[in-house]
């Protein structure tokens, strides 16, 4: 098998190739390194290669379900003791900060047998819908290298779309798995709050969760099987599934009641006509498959004033992150240590009262309960666009763009339909179900009730059988074959 042959396998298929003796761990590893060296200079996805240490680990891999499968880890919340942990922040890069502990999730990746080739690019503090940090430069989209790969898991998504690895770690605090998946033509599942451990340095009660970006539903399901479940002291624990997710996707699914939203929900923004058509075409396909589809959405999701009321909590969180970085590097952060938007938000914290933060948290709590009532009232899933637009051109949302407010308006076109479900903690899945006339991927999002990843994965498997997106590959691969 050639390097390109391996590149067309998903993680489950790669593991099977090794397990059955069709290829060795060394052969799979060498092929992935060759692809990394060939493609990464063009897309800037992997910023901290770890080739020598990864090669040394091949003779002592645990006998997990993904033994020998090449992997990448996002340089944000998933820490590896002794490895760089810069979170897209210039001050942390200059200080050469390495993590002092290994995340519980990384321990599970290792137990599953994954071999990490390095860490991937991310915007500063994972806070952007594009991966263009000043610390490491922009990640380019393998479908069009003049466009962004999304954020904040853009490095991971670009690496998978380019074929460097079949799957990579990603995290999602406001759409950061789903947005890059949509822009790069991948599957991106944001699990439920408390499904995957965030310790030991983060709490499960926050808005961010972790999983992967990949090509196939079976990869997303099998990796969730390998990594889900609590660790001692976890703050939120999602109810365990009745059966393995990999078994769920092999079963015929029930006919579902699905609500559809094909519009924007924030003022000053509009959905691209091709994206809206992708949502409506998906709704029609679902009806043809026997599902009950109606244009309906939770009323609270359409209440813009309510969504904007969460702002003080976001401002306070950013200020706390900046303060933590200052403690880590041992000095106050200057203007060249963090990006302008981060500085702008952190400075606003001085005008935020403790009471306003509590009120924002209460607003998020009532929003969570009101949305849950819509699902409890008889709906199984909500169908929306993942992003209102296809991938942006590089620079549109770059942190050195002088018009910061215009950048934030552009960002709303990518995050407004993803971020609410980080507040509620519900699972959401972006699928690459359409393309623009110019060949750019369009992601379509499904949202389930809390802890119902099984419904998302089962429907995803049904749609994958009809659409066959996992056979489509980015032009970057074809031009370099």
Catalytic residue numbers? 74, 152, 176
Question: Is residue 224 within 8 Å of residue 191, measured between CB atoms?
Answer: yes
Dist. CA 222–CA 246, nearest whole Å: 5
Using an 8 Å Cβ cutoff, are 126 and 318 in contact? no
* Whether 182 contacts 150, CB under 8 Å: yes
Non-local (6+) Cβ contacts of 307 within 8 A are: 265, 266, 367, 420
Q: Which neighbouring-strand residues pair with 49?
A: 118
All residues at 6 or more sequence positions from 223 whose CB lies less than 8 Å from its CB, including other chains: 11, 66, 112, 167, 211, 212, 214
The residues, any chain, with a CB within 8 Å of residue 281's CB and separated by 6 or more, are 433, 434
Tokens of 199: 């310790």
Using an 8 Å Cβ cutoff, are 182 and 129 in contact? no
CB 177 within 8 A of CB 170: yes
Contact of 304 with 417, CB cutoff 8 Å: no
- Would you say 236 and 194 are in contact if contact means Cβ atoms under 8 Å apart? yes
Edge-to-edge order in the sheet of strand 70-74: 46-49, 115-120, 70-74
Contact yes or no for 387/146 (Cβ under 8 A): no
Q: What are the beta bridge partners of residue 172?
A: 209
CB 154 within 8 A of CB 180: yes
Strand ranges for 327-435 from DSSP E? 381-385, 428-435
Taking a C-beta distance cutoff of 8 angstroms, is the pair 98, 87 a contact?
Answer: no
Q: How far apart are CA 287 and CA 276, in angstroms?
A: 17
Question: Distance between the two ends of the chain, CA-based, in angstroms?
Answer: 14
Structure tokens at 33: 């390194």
Q: Reduce the DSSP state of residue 119 to 3 states and report it.
A: strand
- Reduce the DSSP state of residue 187 to 3 states and report it: strand
């Amino acid at each position: 098998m050639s390097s390109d042959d391996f590149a067309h396998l998903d993680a489950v298929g790669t593991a099977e190739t090794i397990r059955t003796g069709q290829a060795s761990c060394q052969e799979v590893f060498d092929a992935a390194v060759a692809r990394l060296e060939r493609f990464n200079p063009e897309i800037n996805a992997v910023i901290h290669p770890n080739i020598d240490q990864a090669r040394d680990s091949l003779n002592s891999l645990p006998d997990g379900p993904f033994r020998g499968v090449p992997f990448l880890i996002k340089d944000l919340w998933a820490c590896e003791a002794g490895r760089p942990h810069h979170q897209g922040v210039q001050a942390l890069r200059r200080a050469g900060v390495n993590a002092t502990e290994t995340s519980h999730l990384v321990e599970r990746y290792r137990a599953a047998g994954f071999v990490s080739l390095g860490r991937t690019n991310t915007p500063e503090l994972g806070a952007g819908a594009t991966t263009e940090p000043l610390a490491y430069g922009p990640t380019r989209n393998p479908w069009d290298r003049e466009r962004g790969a999304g954020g904040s898991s853009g490095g991971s998504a670009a690496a998978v779309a380019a074929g460097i690895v079949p799957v990579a770690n990603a995290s999602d605090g406001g759409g950061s798995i789903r947005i890059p998946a949509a822009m790069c033509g991948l599957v991106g599942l944001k699990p439920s709050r408390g499904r995957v451990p965030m310790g030991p340095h983060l709490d499960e009660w926050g808005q961010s969760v972790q999983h992967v970006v990949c090509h196939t539903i079976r990869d997303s399901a099998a990796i969730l099987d390998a990594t889900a479940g609590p660790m001692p002291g976890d703050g939120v624990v999602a109810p365990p599934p009745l059966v393995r997710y990999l078994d769920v996707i092999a079963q015929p699914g029930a006919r579902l009641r699905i609500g559809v939203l094909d519009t924007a929900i924030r003022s000053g923004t509009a959905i691209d006509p091709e994206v809206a058509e992708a949502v409506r075409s998906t709704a029609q396909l679902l009806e043809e498959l026997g599902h009950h589809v109606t244009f309906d959405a939770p009323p609270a999701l359409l209440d813009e004033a309510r969504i904007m009321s969460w702002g003080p909590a976001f401002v306070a969180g950013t200020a706390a992150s900046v303060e933590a970085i200052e403690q880590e590097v041992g000095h106050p952060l200057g203007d060249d240590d963090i990006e302008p938007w981060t500085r702008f938000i952190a400075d606003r914290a001085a005008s935020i009262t403790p009471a306003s933060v509590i009120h924002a948290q209460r607003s998020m709590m009532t929003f969570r309960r009101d949305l849950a009532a819509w699902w409890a009232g008889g709906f199984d899933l909500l169908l929306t666009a993942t992003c209102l637009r296809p991938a942006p051109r590089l620079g549109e949302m770059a942190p050195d763009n002088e018009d910061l407010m215009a950048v934030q308006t552009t960002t709303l076109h990518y995050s407004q339909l993803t971020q609410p479900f980080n507040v509620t903690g519900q699972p959401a899945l972006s699928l690459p179900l359409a393309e623009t006339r110019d060949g750019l991927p369009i992601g379509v999002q499904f949202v389930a009730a809390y802890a119902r990843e099984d419904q998302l994965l089962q429907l995803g498997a049904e749609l994958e059988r009809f659409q066959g997106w996992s056979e489509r590959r980015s032009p970057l691969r074809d031009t370099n074959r």
